[in-house]
Amino acid sequence: MLNSLKKKLILLYTVSTGLILTATLLFVMLNNNQQLIKDKNFNFRSNFSTVSKNVQMDSNFSHLWLSQLEANNHFIIHIEDNGFPLLYNGAFNPPTDRSILIQKLKEAAREDNIDTAARPVSLSEVESKTYEIQGDFREHYLGAVFVVPVGKGFRSLVLLQPLDTSAFLNPGQILFLIVMDVLGIGALFLVSYWIVGKSLKPVEESKRQQTEFIAAASHELKSPLAVIRASLSAAKIDAENSLHYLNNMDKECSRMAGLIEDMLLLASTDARHWQLKREYLDMDTLLIETYDLFYPYLKEKTMELKLLLEDEMLPQVEGDKERLKQILAVLIDNAAVYSKEGDTVIIRAYAKRKRLLIEIEDHGLGIPEDKKKEVFLRFYRGDKSRQDKNHYGLGLSIAKELAELQNGTLTLNDTSGGGATFLLSLPVKLPGYHRD
User: What percentage of residues in the chain have a pLDDT greater than 70?
Assistant: 84
Q: Mean pLDDT in the chain?
A: 81
Q: What's the rounded Cα separation, in Å, for the pair 300 and 298?
A: 5
Q: Is the pLDDT of residue 222 over 80?
A: no
In contact, 336 and 330? CB cutoff 8 Å: no
The whole-number average pLDDT for the span 381-395 is 51
**What average pLDDT does range 40-60 have in this prediction?**
87
Residue 19: how many CB atoms within 10 A of its CB?
A: 11
Is the pLDDT at 107 greater than 50? The verdict is yes
| Distance, C-alpha 185 to centroid of its chain | 18
Task: Look at residue 91 and tell me whether its pLDDT is greater than 90.
Answer: no
Residue 114 has pLDDT above 70, yes or no: yes
CA 284 to chain centre: 47
Residue 31 has pLDDT above 90, yes or no: no
Greater model confidence, 114 or 219: 114
Q: Percentage of the chain surpassing pLDDT 90?
A: 21
Higher per-residue confidence, 385 vs 184: 184
Q: Give the Cα separation of 162 and 143 in Å (integer).
A: 9
Number of other CB atoms surrounding residue 126 within 10 Å: 21
The pLDDT tens digits of the residues spanning 288-321 come to 999 998 888 888 889 999 999 988 889 989 888 8
Nearest alpha carbon to residue 343 among 377, 394, 282, 299: 299
Indicate whether 386 pLDDT > 60.
no
Cα separation, 84 vs 107, whole angstroms: 17
> What structural domains and CATH numbers belong to the chain?
2-167 (3.30.450), 171-270 (1.10.287.130), 279-427 (3.30.565.10)
Task: Say which residues have a Cβ less than 8 Å from residue 403's Cβ, sequence separation at least 6.
Answer: 327, 409, 410, 424, 426
pLDDT score at 142: 93
